[in-house]
Amino acid sequence: MVDTEDAAIVARCLAGEHNAYEAIVHRYQKGLFNVALRMLGNYEDAKDATQTAFVKAYEHLDSFNPEQRFFNWLYRILKNECLNVLRGRRPSEPVSLDLPAGSGADPVEARERQQAVQAALLALSVDYREVVVLRHFTDLSYDEIAATLGIPLKTVKSRLYTARQQLGDKLVGWHVAR
Amino acid sequence: MNTFNEDRRNDNDEVSMMLNDLPQVDPPASLAPTVMSTIAEHAKAPVTQPQVTFTRRGSRMAKGTTAKRVLWSVAAAAAVALVALRVAGYPPVEEGTEATIGAAQRYQAPQIAAADVKVEDQQFQSFLQSDLFRQLVNDKAAREALKDESLQKALSDLNVRNALSNEVIRTAISNNAVLWAKYLANNDVINQVRLDAKNLAVLQAALTASPALVAAISNVNIADAIANSNLALVLANSEAMVAVRNDAVLNAMFNASSNARIDAVNNASSNASGNVINK
């Protein structure tokens, strides 16, 4: 689906055909949900943030610029929701890392490693975390990340480099089974 | 599984590989139906319906609740009030006290300072030391009457004082406190008191403007003071009137000996209330 198709769906929604919005939800729900999941580290919070982002996007469809990529606009709404959730958390509140584990030769080790990676991800600042999340959990290129975040390309690369350095420091001793 | 694009395949360091190893998680099956049902409700609801935010466990919470709006309204009103008070200069801060540590910046009514009351005229000083003034200010009713601004204004007019210095007029007014206007309109009375039309009009206007004057004329001390030309000195001296209105100053004045009254007033009033009558 190209952006012109998104724009056409938006036009139908604005004309009163609200069921047309379902195509957009199905199109982007997996990407947005995984972004929220990695940003928040909690399944339920990610689900709530994603649902809220979709509803808010629908409520403000009239402010969407069809010349803009729909995902970029949707992501900004989701990011605000994630920030709201993070702000609502008390500093001492433990974050659930009960995330689905991937497959591997050693499921137990893979699960522990993935939990360590997720914990390290949550320890990053939001600015660093989001470039990592957009880079590794969406199909966005560096240029697209820059456009989505509204920052220069070199800033994206710089943040990504620093974020990986910080993650590397936190994940010493962990390796991916080859 | 992760979706790799060209850039991503280039991210082949250990950290990137561990990140890429994190699985893509399928969203809950209820996500899309929940969103669409919420949108359907939203489409049916009036435009003014508050926005919806999903919270943990899928419950929904209306944002922009009344309580929140009231809270913001009160906060905004308080902020505006604080800014207004600040701009208006309240509470006032006297110069030189800005660095006083811990001093309460409460409002204080301006006190009469030493320079506020000055007696420069020898004639006025004599009047202050006279038995007449002593009687006048020792008379509570007279003092209260003299505090009345309408009375002060009326008696500050020479024409009014001249008219009231006529004992016949004072007696007539004090005997006819209610019907003085009718009395003064009587041609026989006018002829008797020998007031010309202009002075009569001034007197009538003064009496009309100041019921306190009408009432005070029956006071013998007021009457004597009106008849005494030195009263004009007191009435014409706004600084002296400040002292007359101030019981502390008057008490201090008449607790002192007659010969050193002014000096005693200076000392006593400065100690009692900060009011000083300077020579």
Enter the ipTM: 0.84
| CA geometry: angle B39, B44, B47, nearest 5 deg | 90
d(CA A102, CA B262): 102
d(CA B72, CA A152): 37
Q: Which chain B residues are within 8 Å of A38, Cβ to Cβ?
A: 22
Asked if B97 has any chain A CB less than 8 Å from its own CB, the reply is no
Name the residue in chain A with its Cα closest to that of B59.
A48
* DSSP letters for B140-161: HHHHHHHT-HHHHHHHTSHHHH
Least Cα distance to B43 among A113, A13, A51 occurs for: A13
Inter-chain CB proximity A55 and B8 less than 8 Å: no
CA A38 to centroid of chain Cα atoms: 7
Total-model pTM: 0.48
| CB nearest B55 (choices: A48, A99, A140) | A48
Q: Give yes or no for residue B63 having a pLDDT over 60.
A: no
Q: What is the pLDDT of residues B188-197, one digit of tens each?
A: 777 777 777 7
Q: Which chain B residues are within 8 Å of A14, Cβ to Cβ?
A: none
A28 contact partners, CB below 8 Å, separation of at least 6:
A70, A71, A74
In chain A, which among 47-86 make CB contacts under 8 A with chain B? 47-52, 54-56, 58-59
Chain A, chain B: beta-carbon pairs less than 8 Å apart: 130
Q: Which chain B residues are within 8 Å of A18, Cβ to Cβ?
A: 39-40, 43
Alpha-carbon gap: B71 to the closest alpha carbon of chain A (Å): 19
Q: Which chain B residues are within 8 Å of A52, Cβ to Cβ?
A: 52-54
Q: Can you give the pLDDT at residue B106?
A: 56
Instruction: Please check whether residue B165 is in contact with residue B226, taking contact to mean a CB–CB distance below 8 angstroms.
Output: yes
B138-B140-B145-B149 Cα dihedral, nearest 10 degrees = 80
Give B181 or B120, the one with higher predicted confidence: B181
d(CA B154, CA B175): 20
Handedness of CA B70, B72, B78, B83 (dihedral sign): negative
d(CA B145, CA B260): 27
B210 contact partners, CB below 8 Å, separation of at least 6:
B148, B150, B151, B153, B154
Q: Which residues of B221-250 are buried (b: 16+ CB within 10 A; e: fewer)?
A: bbbebbebebbbbbbebebbbebbebebbb
Backbone φ and ψ for B97, nearest 5 degrees, come out as -110, 5
Give the pLDDT mean for B32-51: 73
Give the pLDDT mean for B124-136: 71
d(CA A19, CA B171): 99
HEC string of B195-227 equals CCHHHHHHHHHHHHHCHHHHHHCCCHHHHHHHH
Percent of chain B past pLDDT 90, that is, above it, reads 4
Alpha-carbon gap: B66 to the closest alpha carbon of chain A (Å): 20
d(CA A115, CA B19): 11
Inter-chain CB proximity B42 and A55 less than 8 Å: yes
Give residue B112's pLDDT band: very low, low, confident or very high (50, 70, 90). Answer: low
Inter-chain CB proximity B2 and A56 less than 8 Å: no
Asked if B19 has any chain A CB less than 8 Å from its own CB, the reply is yes
pLDDT averaged over 10-residue windows placed end to end, chain A, 178 residues: 77 89 93 93 92 94 87 92 86 58 66 88 93 89 91 94 92 73
Inter-chain CB proximity B51 and A48 less than 8 Å: no
Test mutation, A128, A136, A162, chain B, max B CBs within 10 A: A136
